[in-house]
Structure 1
Amino acid sequence: MTSDDGAEPSTLPRRQLGRFLREHREAIGLTLAKAAALVELSQAALQRIESARTKKVRTVDVRALCELYEVSPEETARALDLAEQAKVTSWYTAFAGLYSDPTFNMYVELSASARQLISYQEIVLGLLQTPDYARALISAFYREDSTEDIERRVELRMKRQSIVTRKADPVRLELLLHESALRRIVGGPKVMARQLAHLAEIGKRPNISIRIQPFTAGYASGLFHGPFVILDFGTDSKGRVVEPPLVYFEGHGKPDLYLESEADVRRYDELASEIRSTAHDEVRSRELLRRAAREYGA
């Protein structure tokens, strides 16, 4: 989607491309200066690409860098797609195709790079799902997939949960979960019982906050808003923002959407604050999760 209103091209594809190229360069042990020389770029030019500080990313340079870094054809196609996306001016960024694949999911990469995630959900967030709960959801959505493919997707989802469960510098997660998630049965009563008991337990971690928004809270801001995730990438040692925050919306078969403007991020920060103000505290939420788990037979 393009616009003629003079808006700047989205920074998200450039940020992802820069991170992609930097990680592959470092993986083979090349310095910035050496890599730049080998593809006939100046060190400053390559640094601008890696730090997303250039609006003009040439596909010929991206292809040369991918060849130098011995990137696979699939990943090269991904990098070239990012370079093309970086040229598009839009008030939002949409990714599908390559980025809907479990291996290359854009949101997965972004959340792994974030320092904090604030999410409102009406089903359990993937980062906190049990294998059986995830399997029930994935099987219902990917009905044409083989059992092996379903299990691969479940395995990948479980592995990605390490960003919030690892001992070293885990991502901070605040989950604002609507009460409907406790009542909407996924996979049957036993699956629900284990899932809700798991939420009650994992919510004790110092980096994870789970709060239930009750039905009685009504609509925050008087709007019917859907699930969303705010990704905050934190600040560096000097207090400077590492990367601008984003708001993410899962596409559910359509392209995933990302909002990048300060106004949009601020609007969803305010929405999250309103939801938070109507939600139960962590202790009360944990009690509700345990009670519901017992009702399902835990």
Structure 2
Amino acid sequence: MRMAERESEDTETTLPRRQLGRLLREARSATGMNLERAAALVQWSRPTLSRLERGETEKIRVTDILALCEAYGVDRNTSAVARGLAEQVPAKSWWHAYGDLIPAWANLYVGLESTATTLTIFQSLIIHGLFQTADYTRALDRIYFPDETVDELERRVRVRIQRQHILTRTHQAACVSVVLHENVLRTVVGDNKLMSAQCRHVADLSTRENIDIRVLPFRAGFPLGAALPPFTIMDFDHVAPGKKVLDPSQVYCEGYAGSAYLEKRTDIRTFRHAFRKLQESSLDPRSSRDLLREIARRYESER
């Protein structure tokens, strides 16, 4: 199905609603309970619980969600995440701040990313996590998480590397289109040796058939007349389990204090238009690869 066709109307469900359903479905499955048994525990019908797990319930009461969490014996953190999702159920433009639920919220994005079949990415300040080397990730996380132990930081590195498998897996690797502002390549993370290896890594990935990487040079200025935040458009071209419709596209905008998830058709179209303008102003894939390797050589010569 073409993207334009999929954006003809806003979806009836919302991202918080679908993620809440997934969380509860996984919690129930972990107990070994079937739908009938779980529904009986909270005096619901099987169809009612089934609709909730598919993200198709319009009105959700927090007390009902907490009752399900208690029935499944989930921990306090998971219950808090479920509550937060339940409170956000109607939202199609959804902003959440980082706080005590950082690990759980971060898993939301990772879960979406891992099931996306197409990713459209703009990065203006930093190498996207899917393209970071382990050393690049390590250098950033030492600063961002100053109080974590070496073991905790290494776990974060392993998670980042695991995420990258969607680019190289042999079966249905994700198709990725990326625009990197030249500033991303010129800003030193760690040292010149690290940056040289990072630029070469991105250049090597750009040779894969499923990956299109283009560099937006400094001389391109502001193609849209305004500065844009880093963003990722996620498309899901497969049918979700138990559903006859495709999961709707998402725009994810990450910030220092929180992240925005957008799925209104106007938002999706706005960001697709922005990406097309950025891509038109960027170097072509071959020239971008040449620039990446040229910058890598320059870093090496300055060591």
TM range (shorter): 0.7 to 0.9
CA contact (8 A) 1:17 1:50 kept: yes
What is the TM-score when the length of structure 1 is the normalising length?
0.86
- Residue in 2 aligned with 1:257? 260
Q: Count matched residues.
A: 288
Q: By how many angstroms is 1:10 displaced?
A: 8.1
Q: By how many angstroms is 1:57 displaced?
A: 1.7
Distance 1:280 1:248, change over 3 A: same
- Residue in 2 aligned with 1:167? 170
What CA deviation, in whole Å up to 9, does each residue of 1:34-58 have, x standing for no partner?
4333432212211221122122223
User: Percent sequence identity over matched residues?
Assistant: 40
Is 1:144 the equivalent of 2:147? yes
Amino acid at match of 2:103: D
CA contact (8 A) 2:15 2:92 kept: no
CA contact (8 A) 1:189 1:296 kept: yes
Amino acid at match of 1:251: G
Is 1:155 the equivalent of 2:155? no
What CA deviation, in whole Å up to 9, does each residue of 1:61-113 have, x standing for no partner?
323433444433322221122112225x5744324325533784332222123
Amino acid at match of 1:110: L
Amino acid at match of 1:195: Q
Distance 1:23 1:165, change over 3 A: farther
Structure 1: stretches of 5+ with no match in the other structure: 1-7
What CA deviation, in whole Å up to 9, does each residue of 1:196-217 have, x standing for no partner?
1111112222322211111122
Distance 1:228 1:201, change over 3 A: same
Distance 1:273 1:103, change over 3 A: closer
Amino acid at match of 1:20: L
- Residue in 2 aligned with 1:247? 251
RMSD: 2.7
Distance 2:171 2:30 in 1: 21
Distance 2:186 2:17 in 1: 41
Q: How does 1:189-208 map to 2 (within 5 A)?
A: 189-208=192-211
Distance 1:190 1:256 in 2: 32
Amino acid at match of 1:117: L
Give the SS at the match of 1:101.
helix
CA contact (8 A) 1:99 1:106 kept: no
Q: Which moved more, 1:20-29 or 1:43-52?
A: 20-29
Amino acid at match of 2:166: I
- Residue in 1 aligned with 2:58? 55
Q: By how many angstroms is 1:150 displaced?
A: 2.4
What is the TM-score when the length of structure 2 is the normalising length?
0.85
Distance 1:297 1:230, change over 3 A: same
Distance 1:246 1:19 in 2: 17
- Residue in 1 aligned with 2:112? 110
1:85 to 73, 85, 88: 88
Is 1:286 the equivalent of 2:289? yes
Is 1:96 the equivalent of 2:103? no
Distance 1:282 1:100, change over 3 A: same
CA contact (8 A) 1:98 1:104 kept: no
Distance 1:278 1:59, change over 3 A: same
CA contact (8 A) 1:176 1:213 kept: yes
Amino acid at match of 2:253: F
Distance 2:115 2:101 in 1: 16
Is 1:20 the equivalent of 2:40? no
What CA deviation, in whole Å up to 9, does each residue of 1:218-241 have, x standing for no partner?
21221111211111122439x975
Q: By how many angstroms is 1:115 displaced?
A: 1.9
Q: By how many angstroms is 1:126 displaced?
A: 0.6
Distance 1:127 1:202 in 2: 10
What CA deviation, in whole Å up to 9, does each residue of 1:241-286 have, x standing for no partner?
522212111121x121122211111000000111111122222221
Amino acid at match of 2:107: N
Is 1:179 the equivalent of 2:182? yes
Distance 2:167 2:80 in 1: 30
Q: How does 1:270-285 map to 2 (within 5 A)?
A: 270-285=273-288
Give the SS at the match of 2:219.
helix
Distance 1:59 1:85, change over 3 A: same
CA contact (8 A) 1:234 1:241 kept: no
Q: Which moved more, 1:241-250 or 1:8-17?
A: 8-17
2:123 to 114, 121, 124: 121
Distance 1:265 1:183, change over 3 A: same
